[in-house]
Structure 1
């Protein structure tokens, strides 16, 4: 939970008075090269959204640098991570001629709307956010003095759910948000803020509809070394995660050392055999098939065979994106141009919302 603020969030928006046209917004923090869990859990869905979108649909994918600053970020590291994640998004198939790709911090409308929302959001609502409470608990555990509970915790970490609400509502005012259960509380806050704004600044029509959560299918990929926890960039053991930039030999080494169990045979049992189930989940995701179909092919086989197949599937899946990433990250001018053009388009779209916001609050 402590790194929940670094996860992805998405917005699927149906345009007012339209039963077909959608505007889809998703964001990811620049915290380094994504790992296999990020790719199979969310990024692959971005590519699928783009592939399946109707011609009239609009898609926006943002690298949310302001969210990354809620935890300490060395400037050089953050700058490199921004470039890395942009190159990754392009490498996996996000097409800048079809989708708008931009850095959040290149569009000041995000923070302007967040500040306006800050001014109408009750402190009590933010104090009840699970991410804040978990950080507070961690702070208490690190000090002997109970009065130190909030010392060292920044305001950004406290208020970032308001910025996330602004992200959700800024582009054509989101009505439907496909996020995981771990983001339900943040979505509820977005509903509270939207409702508060509508009541505070009434007009003939409500400006912000209340966003509704949509169920999305995503793969929950676990740590290779601790299959009771999600795969994470912050885990101290680097062998617990597979990065999209790992070489074939690195991938093979990490999967060979993946924790399984001593039970003979291969069965899919996430509760009693989490390590084995995790490998089956990865293999099924790589092959784009149901995990039950995957496990049916392992009657009479052992973990060695399973690990060999998982290695082959992951290497093959990441081979193309890794090669394209290595090429793109060297083309700084192209990356700069994609980011600039995307930011220009994002500002134009979001300004439609902000003009009406400023008018309603008296600051036009």
Structure 2
């Protein structure tokens, strides 16, 4: 098996994709495809690690899978040049996760902070899937022998675990790995974090100290990717601010979270720095800046919303993209699984 540089990334189908998802992940996905060999996965197996009340049940899950796929395509990801699919259509994800479960150590999983945060105080009632989530994530990456993974702050620990699992597999089966053609003893590569520049952390429009989230009870706290132009403009106008004019220097944003958030959103959408934005709008009132921000948001997001609505209105077309992507992903996965089984020593059909 030849080593190919490959980027893998996944997005959970949790519904209500918003500006934070777009600026924090999808924009980078679109950029990465220009110079990388990319696999973009809707990780629906991860979605069901939470209670049904969280992911919404079968009808909601299917709708959300299609919506995330539509967002990928509407934002500019090309499913012909790259692979777009949903995780559950490729059985290798679950199968490799079991093999890696037998390599990963309980102590490693016990150190995963995200499980502690998501399970809360009632850990005894959390699903085994939620506890084992990081091993499935490792399988997602290693199934395609991906060399690079774009990660945010909350996923860095999981990527480190994937690296540890890859290294332990290579060590545990070192002689067999070399016997099966990997002279360097490395069957699974050590996936590297892909740094795509400063992460855009988008906060709530109602509280600049909290991340923008679909779970917020107020729809005015976020800009959804499906919002139309009038809704976007209204939400920007209602966004929380403070009574002071915008500062002229970035240092002036340090104690003003709402101002910092709005300036950061403008900078990210415009492809500029915060300091550039403040040079243009510093000293002015929020009303003028909000009008400019609304116009920019509408210019960037309204076409995406329109295309998403067109795509989701034709679920058969979206499904065909996922099916074709799963076929291509499945071929890569099958190659990895055959080699992994041979290395471990399973008897299988030729």
Tell me by how many angstroms 1:97 deviates. 1.4
Tell me the secondary structure at the aligned position of residue 151 of structure 1: helix
* Contact kept in structure 2, 1:256 and 1:307, CA below 8 Å: yes
Note the C-alpha offset of 1:310. Answer: 0.8
Q: Which runs of 5+ in 1 are unaligned?
A: 1-14, 140-148
| Distance (whole Å) between structure 1 residues aligned to residue 147 and residue 69 of structure 2 | 27
Q: Please list the CA deviations of residues 190-247 of structure 1 after superposition, one character each: whole Å capped at 9, or x if unmatched.
A: 1111111112212322211222333222311111111112111112221111001112
CA distance in 2, matches of 1:198, 1:37: 37
Q: Is the 8 A contact 2:204 2:213 kept in 1?
A: yes
Q: Is the counterpart of residue 347 in structure 1 residue 294 in structure 2?
A: no
Q: Out of 160, 185, 201, which is 2:173 matched to?
A: 201
Structure 1 position 213 matched with structure 2 position 193? yes
The count of corresponding residues between Structure 1 and Structure 2 is 331
Partners of 1:262 and 1:319 in 2: how far apart?
A: 29
Q: Aligned-pair distance for 1:104?
A: 0.6
Mapped partners of 1:118, 1:298: distance in 2? 53
Q: Which structure 2 residues correspond to residues 278-357 of structure 1 after superposition, within 5 A?
A: 278-357=261-340
Q: Which of 233, 255, 258 is equivalent to 1:275?
A: 258
What residue is the counterpart of 1:64 in the other structure?
Answer: 43
Q: Secondary structure at the match of 2:236?
A: helix
| 1:163-188 superposed Cα distances (whole Å, 9 cap, x missing partner) | 000111111x2333331232221111
- Whether 1:135 and 2:118 are equivalent positions in the alignment is yes
Provide the TM-score with structure 2 as the length reference. Answer: 0.90
Task: Give the TM-score taking structure 1 as reference length.
Answer: 0.87
User: What is the match of residue 345 of structure 2?
Assistant: 362
Question: What secondary structure sits across from 2:244 in the alignment?
Answer: coil
The alpha carbon displacement at 1:270 in A equals: 4.4
In structure 1, the partner of 2:182 is none
Equivalent in 213, 221, 244 of residue 232 of structure 1: 213
Contact 2:7/2:147 (8 A) holds in 1? no
Judge which range, 179-188 or 343-352, deviates more.
Answer: 179-188
Instruction: Kindly report which structure 2 residues correspond to 1:1-364, keeping only aligned pairs within 5 A, or say none.
Output: 16=3, 22-50=5-33, 52-53=34-35, 57-72=36-51, 73=55, 74-136=57-119, 138-139=120-121, 149-171=122-144, 173-203=145-175, 204=178, 205-217=185-197, 218-267=199-248, 268=250, 269-363=252-346, 364=348
Ranges in structure 2 where 5+ consecutive residues have no aligned partner: 179-184
Distance in structure 2 (CA, Å) of the matches to 1:38 and 1:273:
23
The whole-number CA distance in structure 1 between the counterparts of 2:345 and 2:90 is: 22
